[in-house]
DNA sequence: AAACTATGCAACCGCCTATCC
DNA sequence: GGGATAGGCGGTTGCATAGTT
């Protein structure tokens, strides 16, 4: 036996929501709060599936939803997060206040995703490569290196503000300057993140992006057996984007790792 | 001005996971 | 422990609108 549908299909409205339905749903949630989606339509007097109500609320009616175009900063952040997470839209959306997973998914599919398969002779001037942000250019210029984590929970995201510890630990194999990827200096990817700072509530400058996932009972950082530097000199809490102090370790994806595919030992995480 | 095409986005579908009993 | 259920998620569809011929 399969599971029963969330609602009987007969007699339910489908398709676009009317202003009246929106008002009913808004008013009901204002009074009773979210949740109990299956019962909600009956209680609120809506001829809609509970799932449909939930979706309408989360993607459209919620008061904190940000409307309008995705900014370049947001695009940069989406690209960087997508590079790490793949199509984990809800996780990505969690880093963009006011944006829903649906919005980001749509944006990706209709904008960024298309750029990846774009032929050079497209007519639209808006799709000229000159209009791409540095992060987009870098993404387009480099092979996608999405890490498929199977993460069940994203516990922490940090912007690492520590300067490279040049003086303390001399490099055994010093790298001369940042590597360029297909003509783009990796600094191109650094700048947007600095610009994103207000978006992610950090005053820090720096390029490293840190994230930790819980993978079943383990953390990705545990699986990789990786040592990480201290997040910041001073109070790391000021640099937290989301605070859920669970793990003792935090996985660091530095720009260098991202740009050079230097994710040692992560083969089994990556696409076949 | 009409027909056609491309684009953007809201909404739906089906699967998965967490939770409850 | 296992089945049932609710909620969440990602993929896909379909429609309205904008742009092009």
* Domain-located, residue A5: no
Nearest residue to nucleotide C9, by CA–C1' distance, is A90
Would you say residue A112 has pLDDT above 60? yes
Q: Are residues A135 and A54 in the same domain?
A: no
* Domain-located, residue A206: yes
Say how many C-beta atoms besides its own lie within 10 A of residue A193's C-beta: 24
If we measure between CA atoms, which residue out of A224, A87, A75, A201 comes closest to residue A138? A75
* Domain-located, residue A46: yes
What is the distance in angstroms measured between the alpha-carbon CA of A267 and the sugar C1' of B11? 37
* Domain-located, residue A263: yes
Would you say residue A17 has pLDDT above 80? yes
What is the distance in angstroms measured between the alpha-carbon CA of A171 and the sugar C1' of C17? 57
Backbone angle region of A177, left / alpha / beta, with phi > 0 → left and psi within -120 to 50 → alpha? left
DSSP string, A115-180: HHT--TT---GGG-GGGS-HHHHHHHHS----B----SEEEEEEEE-PPP-TTTS--SS---SPPE
The rounded distance, in Å, linking the Cα atoms of A191 and A205 is 9
Contact A233, A164 (CB under 8 A): no
Would you say residue A92 has pLDDT above 60? yes
Nucleotides of B under 7 A from a protein CB: 7-14, 16-18
**Which pLDDT belongs to residue A193?**
34
A19 vs A235, higher pLDDT: A19
What is the distance in angstroms measured between the alpha-carbon CA of A91 and the sugar C1' of C8? 12
Would you say residue A176 has pLDDT above 60? no
The domain total for chain A is 2
Would you say residue A192 has pLDDT above 70? no
Would you say residue A250 has pLDDT above 80? no
Residue A159 Cα to chain centre, angstroms = 14
Q: Are residues A44 and A164 in the same domain?
A: no
| Residues whose beta carbon sits under 7 Å from strand B | A 3, 13-17, 48-49, 51-52, 55-56, 59-60, 69, 102-103, 105-107, 109-111, 114, 122, 124, 152
What digits encode the pLDDT tens for the residues A198-228? 344 333 333 344 445 444 444 444 444 443 3
The rounded distance, in Å, linking the Cα atoms of A111 and A113 is 6
* Domain-located, residue A233: yes
Q: Which domain holds residue A134?
A: 72-168+178-269
In this prediction, residue A117 has a pLDDT band, given cuts at 50, 70 and 90, of low
* Domain-located, residue A102: yes
């Amino acid at each position: 036996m399969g599971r029963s549908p969330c609602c009987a299909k007969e007699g339910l409205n489908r398709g676009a929501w009317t202003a009246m339905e929106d008002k009913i749903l808004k008013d009901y949630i204002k009074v009773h709060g979210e949740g109990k989606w299956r019962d909600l339509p009956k209680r609120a007097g809506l001829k809609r599936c509970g799932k449909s109500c939930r979706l309408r609320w989360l993607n459209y009616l919620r008061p904190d939803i940000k409307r309008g175009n995705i900014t370049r900063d947001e695009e940069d952040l989406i690209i960087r997060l997508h590079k790490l997470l793949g199509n984990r839209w809800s996780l990505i959306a969690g880093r963009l206040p006011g944006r829903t997973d649906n919005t980001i998914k749509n944006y990706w599919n209709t904008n960024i995703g298309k750029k990846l398969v774009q032929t050079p002779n497209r007519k639209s001037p808006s799709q000229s490569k000159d209009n791409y942000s540095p992060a987009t250019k870098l993404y387009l210029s480099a092979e996608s290196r999405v890490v498929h984590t199977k993460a069940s929970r994203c516990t922490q995201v940090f912007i690492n503000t520590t300067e490279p510890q040049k003086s303390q630990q001399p490099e055994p194999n010093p790298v001369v300057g940042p590597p360029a990827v297909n003509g783009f200096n990796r600094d191109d990817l650094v700048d947007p993140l600095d610009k994103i700072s207000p978006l992610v509530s950090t005053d820090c400058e720096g390029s490293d992006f840190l994230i930790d996932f819980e993978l079943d009972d383990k953390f990705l950082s545990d699986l990789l057996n990786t040592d990480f530097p201290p997040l910041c000199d001073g109070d790391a809490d000021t640099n937290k984007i989301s605070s859920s102090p669970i793990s003792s370790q935090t996985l660091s994806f530095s720009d260098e790792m991202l740009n050079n595919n230097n994710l040692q030992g992560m083969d089994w995480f990556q696409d076949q």
